[in-house]
Chains A and B, each alone.
Chain A
Amino acid sequence: MKTWLDAWPVFRQLTGPDPLGRGAAARSRATENVVARTATADRVVQSVCPYCSVGCAQRVYVKDEQVVQIEGDPDSPVNRGRLCPKGSASKSLVTSPTRVTKVRYRRPYGTEWEDLDLDTAMEMIADRVLDARRRYWQDECDGKRVNRTMGIASLGGAALDNEENYLMKKLYSAMGAIQIENQARI
């Protein structure tokens, strides 16, 4: 059983096997009880860093359905476990308290954001797409068949997944929208 004297690091340093006080002597009970979040996670999920294009593999540590840590994946032949400052900050990216998690709506000429239900927003956006599509529709341009709408444009970022870009291009093409662009242009 520990006494009050044992709890004193200097005592342990002087009497124990750690005279320099860099190891066991300096460890407190609190230190002993600290366990890495990576060790207590419920599961580890393989992912890829969302910042630059190097494609560093990440391990995402999840506990209670929350991301508790993100680290470089040592298995990856690309990054061998390393991450840069941005990649290392990606846990704060996904858990950021300033992330917007509710739909925000600004009405024409409005001065403030308003709340809007997600399903309502989707229906309203669909209304506007169909309306703009028809109003700006062109069967022909300069006598040539074009089968398109000039009323709808899109600009995607380059953290879109391939699958997402694919559905976007497919849907936009089917609705006749052509001004479809991406950060890849920039």
Chain B
Amino acid sequence: MNSDCIVIEGSNMAECHPVAFQWVTEAKARGAKVIHVDPRFTRTSAIADLHVPLRAGSDIVFLGALVNHVLSNDLYFHDYVAAYTNASSLIREEYQDSEDLDGLFSGWDPDSKQYDQASWQYEYEDTPDAGVSEDDPAGAAEQERLSQEESVKDADQAHASGSGGPPLHGRAKRDETLQHPRCVFQVLKRHFARYTPEKVAEVCGVEPEAFLKVAEWITANSGRERTTAFVYSVGWTQHTVGAQYIRTASILQALLGNMGRPGGGILALRGHASIQGSTDIPTLYNLLPGYLPMPHATQHQSLDDYVADAAGTGGFWGNKRAYAVSLLKAWWGDAATPENDFCFDYVPKITGDHSSYRTVADMVEGKVAGYFLAGENPTVGHANGRMQRFGLANLEWLVVRDLQMIESASFWQTAPEIETGELVTEQIPTEVFFVPAASHVEKDGTFTQTQRMLQWRFKAIEPPGDCRSDLWFYYHLGRILRERLEDSTDPRDRPLLDLTWDYPLHGETQDPSADAVLREINGVGPDGRALSGYLDLKDDGSTTSGCWIYSGVYADEVNQAARKRPGREQGQVASEWGWSWPYNRRVLYNRASADPDGKPWSERKKYVWWDAEAGRWASTGDAVDFEATKPPDYVPPPGAKAQAALSGQDPFVMQSDGKAWLFAPKGVVDGPLPTHYEPSESPVENALYAVQGNPSTEHIQAPYNREAPSMGDVFPYSVTTYRLTEHHTAGAMSRTLPYLSELQPEFFVEVSPELAAERGLENGGWATLVSPRAAIEARVLVTERIRPIRTRGGQVVHQIGAPYHWGETGISTGDSANDLLPVVMDPNTHIQESKASTVDIRPGRRPRGPELTELLEQYRHRAGIASGRMPVGGRVAVEGT
């Protein structure tokens, strides 16, 4: 609401986050410019001042050209960039840019398809005391070396920097004049020089006038007096270069001085009630709570190994040992002692990529025995539903917890592959337990919403019948397991037996207390009292905390997430409604809203400032994201560690150097700077480099996951999947409800009138979409909302929009758009490319039964792709491994 300009790109905010969109319309009513950059014209576009239709998968060219525009026209926020970014840091001499290597960076290994990132790093000061003091320099150096091993890079350890940047092991040499040819600023200029308005026209299909209007609006609305915000969703993340899309926006926003300021920033609109919470307290294979990495067998055989990379280095990650020890104490209590490394050995170790799609590929091979699905319907909601179903059909047992009978539970009866004969019910060995779940009103607990705010829900009623909360399910499963193993002498069972697992139980069903769990997450001190935040955490085992970034949510023995002081009784920040991590800060890195001397950049954008008289930072209502009494003129003394190693002018306190990174010397596996690569399946040749797609893309080669060649004529159209207002992801919570099913009763695809004419499609009629993975049918919606993109070379790219909510069961049923998609993944995140792949479209319904598999086989043959035929039962191995 404080923004002067809002760019929504990779998101259809008005339809997918409609209630949040009220704040955009309010900003607009106050005079803010609203820009929507998206392949489709939607309700978001209708409200925007400007809709810029661009070709799906070309965002880095568009954003990169904005970066270039800002740099080459000297429109960046000079004082902000000089003080708060790494623009002046020097990069090593060995570094070679994609400019030098036609789309690759230095360090590329064509065999492993990975980069050695050593040459991307800063050139460090070589004086004996460069102002950086690590606890364990030799250990840190060893960790640095191991971090470049293939299995470590496969394991996506960079993700463990989710609440900040990876640690650095020296102080970068700097050139404050920004003239040195190897300083980040100059590297950036050279890298983005080829991202011009002409290239935007050629690659994105955006007219130069529209591009220049966006450039003009965002630069006019940035600086001391004004701020611009960016908003994105999975339209950015679900690409093989997804992380780099967001990096490009970060670079732009840092150059414009929009980070850490009111009305600025980059807002990720996440898709589910507590998807932010599910990342912070991760049920993710490569993370422990609070973005601590899951220990890797190659790197982390002891607690010392585990913390060596960060311990003592600049910024708040310098206290990694305190966070890790407090977590181990929360889990293993008195059993965790300094003598036994606080039970660090109890934590299982990863050895590579164990992410969801990789695990499903293992299931298809029969390598996984049991699978729990807790509120997830992957046969509809994940890319390549066929692969998911073949995985489920090759398990020994499956436990499903949901409100409704979902496709992933009934696949042995309802899978489309039963009709084609690829699966036969009587031959599927999977034992299935459907254990019904409690709804959101039938249990206490917190969701973390998209701005990191935890909100407590009070239980309204008891769940019906056998329905139970997941807290109940996992607590009692753990209780039974521990009872079974009570007399075990096997050391492998110690982690379960020593686990702290004593929560107060309530009511007839013996539901564990969510309040007690939240308090454990917060952590307690030696006196047994709840801690007030992570600054209280110690590395000697005297404190506990189940998730260090959430420490403070139970400060003063009060459930801070349950605070519900009405918004109208509070100021704009409304800091007494719920609780945001960390330390209830609503705008992250808000020290950057003041200039280096601690004065607000302008009266209009005043947010936090240094109150010299009081000797502390003050704010308009938010918690200051900086050490409360560290003055702007603080200079770290030699040997300073962790946060003390950051100066009073380093606002990005989770970064090792306290700076916003225009260039990422570490932490991004597919390049230190964003580079345009075409989607893995693209109708268009890469117009910028000789490298077509992201060379680091992860593929799973198997008959169920065949990929189409780019620029082929068998699968000539680009398809992008999306959501509707009236449905929710895989449909279990919407296709089962009469109102919502009536509002959006049927699966449809959007095509332009031009494509309809080219393929003979009729509005309201049927069409069949074919990819190398699947053929599905949908109703056709012919609409000018989706339009062909004409690139400068004269090529016309037709795009098809496909909402992905449908499946075989529920009130409203239909084929699943996700069945079309390939599993090809961003190497940083293992997220699939849902937003741009290729298909053919033809009028009429799809064939049934074995004819369907024949049709697909014919298509693959014509496109020169290997056979995708699956054996009955669907058990096959991944090829080439």
- Which B residues touch A130, using CB under 8 A? 481, 484-485
- Which A residues touch B568, using CB under 8 A? 75
19 sampled A-B residue pairs with Cβ under 8 A: A51-B728, A55-B450, A85-B18, A105-B433, A121-B435, A141-B349, A148-B349, A149-B348, A152-B370, A161-B443, A161-B514, A162-B521, A163-B445, A163-B518, A164-B374, A178-B349, A182-B279, A185-B356, A186-B831
- Which B residues touch A87, using CB under 8 A? 19
- Which B residues touch A65, using CB under 8 A? 461-462
- Closest CB in chain A relative to B505 CB, distance in Å: 13
- CA–CA, A173 and B856, complex, Å: 42
Among B368, B369, B574, the most chain A Cβ lie within 10 Å of the Cβ of: B369
- Closest CB in chain B relative to A91 CB, distance in Å: 9
Q: Which chain B residues (172-199) contact chain A, with CB distance < 8 Å?
A: none
- In addition to A142-B351, A160-B374, A161-B443, 17 A-B residue pairs with Cβ atoms within 8 Å of each other are A47-B440, A53-B271, A53-B274, A60-B441, A67-B460, A93-B733, A99-B464, A101-B466, A110-B412, A147-B492, A155-B356, A166-B289, A169-B288, A170-B331, A179-B368, A182-B278, A182-B284
- CA–CA, A83 and B403, complex, Å: 21
- In the complex, are the beta carbons of B349 and A162 less than 8 A apart? no
Please list the 8 inter-chain residue pairs (A to B) with the smallest Cβ-Cβ separation, ordered nearest first.
A55-B449, A77-B567, A157-B375, A161-B445, A101-B465, A158-B272, A148-B348, A158-B275
- CA–CA, A31 and B737, complex, Å: 29
- CA–CA, A48 and B401, complex, Å: 21
- In the complex, are the beta carbons of B369 and A151 less than 8 A apart? yes
Query: With contacts A48-B455, A166-B521 known, is A77 near B574, CB below 8 A?
Result: yes
Among A43, A54, A149, A152, the most chain B Cβ lie within 10 Å of the Cβ of: A54
- In the complex, are the beta carbons of B19 and A178 less than 8 A apart? no
Q: How large is the interface on B (under 10, 10 to 19, 20 to 34, 35 or more residues)?
A: 35 or more
B30 on the interface (CB 8 Å rule)? no
Query: With contacts A156-B374, A168-B474 known, is A128 near B288, CB below 8 A?
Result: no
Stretch in contact with the other chain, from A8-16, A22-30, A32-40, A131-139? A131-139
- Closest CB in chain B relative to A84 CB, distance in Å: 4
- Closest CB in chain A relative to B306 CB, distance in Å: 13
Stretch in contact with the other chain, from B90-98, B424-432, B591-599? B424-432
The residue of chain A having its C-beta at the shortest distance from the C-beta of B363 within the complex is A153
- Which B residues touch A89, using CB under 8 A? 734, 737, 739-740
- CA–CA, A172 and B298, complex, Å: 21
- Which B residues touch A178, using CB under 8 A? 285, 294, 348-350, 354
Query: With contacts A160-B374, A164-B474 known, is A85 near B282, CB below 8 A?
Result: no
Query: With contacts A102-B465, A166-B546, A167-B475 known, is A185 near B829, CB below 8 A?
Result: yes
- In the complex, are the beta carbons of A155 and B518 less than 8 A apart? no
B806 on the interface (CB 8 Å rule)? no
Interface string of B346-383 (1 = CB under 8 A from A): 11111100111001001100011111111111100110
- In the complex, are the beta carbons of A126 and B446 less than 8 A apart? no
- CA–CA, A110 and B518, complex, Å: 41
Q: Which chain B residues (693-734) contact chain A, with CB distance < 8 Å?
A: 725-729, 733-734
- In the complex, are the beta carbons of B734 and A53 less than 8 A apart? no
- CA–CA, A78 and B294, complex, Å: 34
B653 on the interface (CB 8 Å rule)? no
- Which B residues touch A20, using CB under 8 A? none
- Which A residues touch B403, using CB under 8 A? 93, 96, 99-100
Please count the residue pairs between chain A and chain B whose beta carbons lie under 8 angstroms apart in the complex. 472
Q: Which of B433, B448, B739 contacts A162 (CB 8 A)?
A: B448
Among A93, A113, A172, the most chain B Cβ lie within 10 Å of the Cβ of: A93
- In the complex, are the beta carbons of B371 and A155 less than 8 A apart? yes
- CA–CA, A107 and B22, complex, Å: 50
- Which B residues touch A145, using CB under 8 A? 297, 301, 345, 349
- In the complex, are the beta carbons of B359 and A179 less than 8 A apart? yes
- In the complex, are the beta carbons of B517 and A53 less than 8 A apart? no
- CA–CA, A104 and B272, complex, Å: 27
- Which B residues touch A77, using CB under 8 A? 566-567, 570, 574, 577
A146 on the interface (CB 8 Å rule)? yes
- In the complex, are the beta carbons of B356 and A108 less than 8 A apart? no
- CA–CA, A74 and B547, complex, Å: 31
Query: With contacts A108-B430, A111-B426, A186-B356 known, is A165 near B349, CB below 8 A?
Result: no
- In the complex, are the beta carbons of B470 and A48 less than 8 A apart? no
Query: With contacts A53-B269, A55-B273, A181-B359 known, is A84 near B436, CB below 8 A?
Result: no
Q: Which chain B residues (381-402) contact chain A, with CB distance < 8 Å?
A: 381-382, 396-397, 399, 402
Q: Which of B281, B404, B466 contacts A98 (CB 8 A)?
A: B404
Among B273, B412, B427, the most chain A Cβ lie within 10 Å of the Cβ of: B273
- Which A residues touch B514, using CB under 8 A? 161, 163
- Closest CB in chain B relative to A31 CB, distance in Å: 24
The residue of chain B having its C-beta at the shortest distance from the C-beta of A170 within the complex is B331
A7 on the interface (CB 8 Å rule)? no
- Which B residues touch A54, using CB under 8 A? 17, 19-20, 269, 449-450
The residue of chain B having its C-beta at the shortest distance from the C-beta of A62 within the complex is B460
B29 on the interface (CB 8 Å rule)? no
The residue of chain B having its C-beta at the shortest distance from the C-beta of A127 within the complex is B484
The residue of chain A having its C-beta at the shortest distance from the C-beta of B573 within the complex is A77
Q: Which of A96, A128, A162 contacts B518 (CB 8 A)?
A: A162
